[in-house]
Structure 1
Amino acid sequence: MRYDEEFLTIPHAIRLAAERFGDDIALIDEDLRWSFRELEQRMTEAVRATVALGIEEGDRVGLCAPNSAEWIFAALGIQGAGGVVVPLNTRFKAGEISYILRKSGAKAVFAAPFLGSDYIAELLRHDPDLPALRRTVSVLGAKGAADLSWTEFLRAGEEVPAATAEEVVGRLTPDDISDVMFTSGTTGHPKGVILTHGQSLRAYGWMAEEYTFRRGDSFLVIPPFFHCFGYKAGWLASFLHGVTVIPMPVFHPGKALEIIERERVSILLGPPTIFHDLINHPDRSGHDLSSLRVSMTGGTTIPESLIRAMKSDLSFDIVMSAYGLTEASALVTTTCVDDSEETVARTTGRVIPDVEVRIVDETGQELAAGQDGEILVRGYNVTRGYWDDPGATAVTIDDEGWLHTGDIGRLDGNGNLSIVDRKKEMYIVGGFNAYPAEIEKLLLAYEPVAQVAVIGVPDERLGEVGCAFVVPKEGYEVGEKDIVEWSREHMANFKVPRHVRFSDQLPRNASQKVLKDELRTRFEAKA
């Protein structure tokens, strides 16, 4: 089904799924299960309750909770009432959450205690005078510092007629804003990316078809829901195609293996570290993983050996890679089912339908295939702009509608995009541009290296040089001299790391991205 040809918004898509898939299981959370028909009912209850809360068309609502059924119900309730979901990173501290709520003008916040944090209590202590905030709801567990528990929230909705919920959902259009996704803020404050119902449905309806999502599949969703990977490529794409969603609040490889076997999980998308941890878990061979069928792993450093291991050790039939960024609905290019392992490892595939990609130099001139430059994107998937930040919007999206991604890449003769690196992570060694992602990919070909992250660090003679933070494979003994000597044999001299640090694990955020600022702090502490 082509979702770009439907009149759909996200709540309408849930209604259509209830009609099409009925009593099939839509959602499993621990011991609880909901059919697609029951999912629609939970959405309607949440819409009525959100209307009772006073949320109206265009109101922003913060949502800070772990992957769970309630996260989905809350999001659908907010959107169905005409509100705009503002997903909040569950690893954020009170000051970070306060900034986003102030910037977005959030009228309410839904939150759940998680990993020892009571977000609402901490937020109110840090910033008791948020100007727009009117109501707080506890999504899971006890009410705590919130105005309402989840049960009280739903009970208040019983005063709103079901016909009112029907009416507000019926007013929604594909051009209405569904969410404002705040970026991670790696450069300055986070910026709120505006995305619409129609953009998400068009992109992820297509993606799910391309990835062969089908009725009866089950998807263990590990990437967090506050990120497009878990939210849109996860539960939204699944519901569109009759796939059962199993949210996982915190990734534990041993528990994931148990769920895969018990629930016959067939779809698992995520960053490479997830698959690395599953493959290397000591109990892996004791679990039946034969149900696994489809995977996509994002990132710029995916060795072919990992792809082969995902097929041989984890039983995947299909492994794909993709590239996206929040400003482009997190989906720009993807490989296809019949692409070779080399293509999946070396590239992020071809541009998705009805979207354009250009590679340009620093003057804006388009470059030929095989040349490195900034990736520009134009199409329906590009954000309308940053929330309440026209200056940043103008810098990022030019007058012709091209999104300047800040990513460095190249196109091959077949139109496959390879990501070289982020502009901001490039460092210059004696006049030569060095891209950490390229060096990381090279180092992953060295057998003793399990994981690696490279940063540029100051050097008196060369200006900057590379420092590689290495996680060795279990059973291997490897030293700094080994890494440097191997590198000298396999890469240009300016790319060879001048410093090597070893660690049991790399610091990562909730989206499994390596925290390179923390690595820089570590280097400076021991310099």
Structure 2
Amino acid sequence: MTAQPTTTPAAVIAAAHDFGEREAVADGDVRLTFTQLHDRVRDFAAALCARGVQPGEHVAIWSPNTFHWVIAALGVHYARATLVPINTRYTATEALDIVERTKAAVLVVAGMFLGTDRYATLRDESSTLDLPTVVRVPVDGGDVERPGVLDFDDFLALATDDTRAAADRRARAVDAEDIADVMFTSGTTGRSKGVLSAHRQVVGIARAWADCAEVTADDNYLVINPFFHTFGYKAGILVCLLTGATVVPMAVFDVPKVMATVHDEHITVLPGAPTIFQSILDHPDRSRYDLSSLRIAVTGAAAVPVALVERMQSELSFEAVLTAYGQTEAVVITMCRTDDDPVTVSTTSGRAIPGMEVRIGERGEILVRGENVMLGYLDDPEATARTIESDGWLHTGDVGVLDERGYLDITDRLKDMYISGGFNVYPAEVENALARLDGVAESAVIGVPDERMGEVGRAYVVAKPGTSLTEDDVIAFGKKHLAGFKVPRTVRFVDSLPRNPSGKVMKNILREEKSS
């Protein structure tokens, strides 16, 4: 085996050397060995060089889980550029904000996907959009030719011997401290923040996750978690790259398709939100599929009942079910281990992974410090200073307790954030959007329990006098301007919002009546 890499280009090269003709990616009819993956990644990087992309420039990817995402993301790193994943559930307004703030030199974007041409919506949102290079990923088919847009294969064809050599030089020059990516996560101010991570952190997180989950080259890893999320990208693609496991991407979650894929691809590793496993267990056609290959499950982002863990092990044959805790600013903080019992898995989020420390600060806030804490927020030193203390402790905004073993139980959130379907939702962002709706005087959004999604949004709206605003009006406006998981499911109209003496909305009062 070669020395452990500290950058993703080094990991790509090492994987081609160590795992060679083993299968790296299995996406339907497309099968890539680690050698072939290296060649495709190298070509993508060479094409970036051919288009004049410079080291450190930003390349955005707005596309679902397919083999193209794997090639593009690793190719961006290979060219010593910086990756900017964009949530596929984002509206054009939200995506445009990220493209403009990062000054992206390249956009890799899905063609027709779920009935939407994302690049067309982006152009409709901004007639002055200036993107030097646009690469289109074929997903659903039926794509319309657009001036200046290169199809994915045509883009790869731009690679020449000279630009491949240039890409190789850049790959070797990537330093462990170079910025690998900018991962956007909403902030409590209502505007998304770009979290900066170095290559050593990206690789380190993947290695720690792989070690805790005991992933090996014999594993087939079904990645349902979106690649635009750290769970799918760093704890998915990169885990497989480091271990020699096979990435099996899934673009759209569908329970029968998940079961069929587990059956056909002999899936052994299946992470996801608890609802995924509950849906499989309860599906009437489960017995039609052979799911006995399943070995490791990693879940979190919502409560995990002990009974669910026990059923996953007894009925789905998982050898181990793990829970984990993290956030974009630190990716993975704590994680269970394969020998933890169902009660530990259900009632805790595990203990600190190697290289990370956890302590409980004032008001019970979870503070973390270590190798994988972000470098900071993009172009926002003030927010960085507020979040990370001078001695390195990151304020998570979550409340929890540590037991005598060092296992963490998350009990509450200092921030108003709630989790819907595995995605963080920050009410301030939703409230800022609703403020643009004519007839809304003010609003407050909280998360309320939902059997399928974990939590969904409820908006408390104070309407302006003389308006005839309805719940349907508010929800329709949200659907137009926000990603689906952020849109409130219910709306309560109130005469006023409860406030403390300083004028801050007391959401605790709203939460007390949320079940009514």
TM-score using structure 1 length = 0.79
Partner residue of 1:294?
296
Residue number among 91, 97, 105 corresponding to 1:93 in the alignment: 91
> What is the rounded CA distance, in whole Å, between the counterparts of 1:18 and 1:164 in structure 2?
19
Partner residue of 1:387?
378
Partner residue of 1:147?
149
Distance 1:343 1:93, change over 3 A: same
> What is the rounded CA distance, in whole Å, between the counterparts of 1:376 and 1:239 in structure 2?
30
Q: Secondary structure at the match of 1:42?
A: helix
Matches within 5 A, 1:360-509: 360-362=361-363, 373-425=364-416, 469-471=449-451
1:387-416 deviation per Cα after TM superposition (whole angstroms, max 9, x unaligned): 011121111112111111111111111111
Distance 1:55 1:209, change over 3 A: same
Larger RCO (CA under 8 A, 6+ residues apart): 2
Give the letter aligned to residue 60 of structure 1.
H
Is the 2:6–2:204 contact (alpha carbons within 8 Å) kept by the matching residues of 1? no
Matches within 5 A, 1:318-397: 318-328=320-330, 330-362=331-363, 373-397=364-388
1:245-271 deviation per Cα after TM superposition (whole angstroms, max 9, x unaligned): 100000100011001011110000011
* Unpaired segments ≥5 residues, structure 2: 428-443, 453-478, 495-513
Matches within 5 A, 1:61-76: 61-76=59-74
Distance apart, 1:214 and its partner CA: 1.0
Distance apart, 1:425 and its partner CA: 3.5
Is the 1:224–1:231 contact (alpha carbons within 8 Å) kept by the matching residues of 2? yes
Partner residue of 1:126?
125
Distance 1:309 1:187, change over 3 A: farther
Distance apart, 1:201 and its partner CA: 0.9
Q: State the percentage of identical aligned residues.
A: 42
* Unpaired segments ≥5 residues, structure 1: 363-372, 427-435, 441-452, 456-463, 473-508
Residue number among 260, 263, 283 corresponding to 1:261 in the alignment: 263
Is the 2:300–2:323 contact (alpha carbons within 8 Å) kept by the matching residues of 1? yes
Is the 1:295–1:318 contact (alpha carbons within 8 Å) kept by the matching residues of 2? yes
Partner residue of 2:4?
6
Distance 1:84 1:336, change over 3 A: same
1:29-88 deviation per Cα after TM superposition (whole angstroms, max 9, x unaligned): 111111111111111111111111221110001101010000111111111111111000
Give the letter aligned to residue 11 of structure 2.
A
Residue number among 48, 51, 54 corresponding to 1:50 in the alignment: 48
Q: Secondary structure at the match of 1:331?
A: coil
Distance apart, 1:143 and its partner CA: 6.3
RMSD over equivalenced CA pairs, Å: 2.8
Matches within 5 A, 1:131-280: 133-140=131-138, 142=143, 144-145=145-146, 147-158=149-160, 160-185=162-187, 187-280=189-282
Distance 1:241 1:95, change over 3 A: same
Partner residue of 1:493?
none
Is the 2:47–2:163 contact (alpha carbons within 8 Å) kept by the matching residues of 1? no
Distance apart, 1:523 and its partner CA: 4.3
> What is the rounded CA distance, in whole Å, between the counterparts of 1:116 and 1:24 in structure 2?
35
Give the letter aligned to residue 397 of structure 1.
I
TM-score using structure 2 length = 0.80
1:321-341 deviation per Cα after TM superposition (whole angstroms, max 9, x unaligned): 01000100x100011111111
Give the letter aligned to residue 198 of structure 1.
R
Partner residue of 1:306?
308
Is 1:518 aligned with 2:488? Answer: yes
Give the letter aligned to residue 119 of structure 2.
I
Distance apart, 1:186 and its partner CA: 6.2
1:313-358 deviation per Cα after TM superposition (whole angstroms, max 9, x unaligned): 2111110101000100x10001111111111100011111121111
Partner residue of 1:485?
none
Partner residue of 1:367?
none
Distance apart, 1:28 and its partner CA: 0.6
Is the 1:55–1:78 contact (alpha carbons within 8 Å) kept by the matching residues of 2? no
Distance 1:388 1:299, change over 3 A: same
Give the letter aligned to residue 73 of structure 2.
A
Is the 1:137–1:143 contact (alpha carbons within 8 Å) kept by the matching residues of 2? no
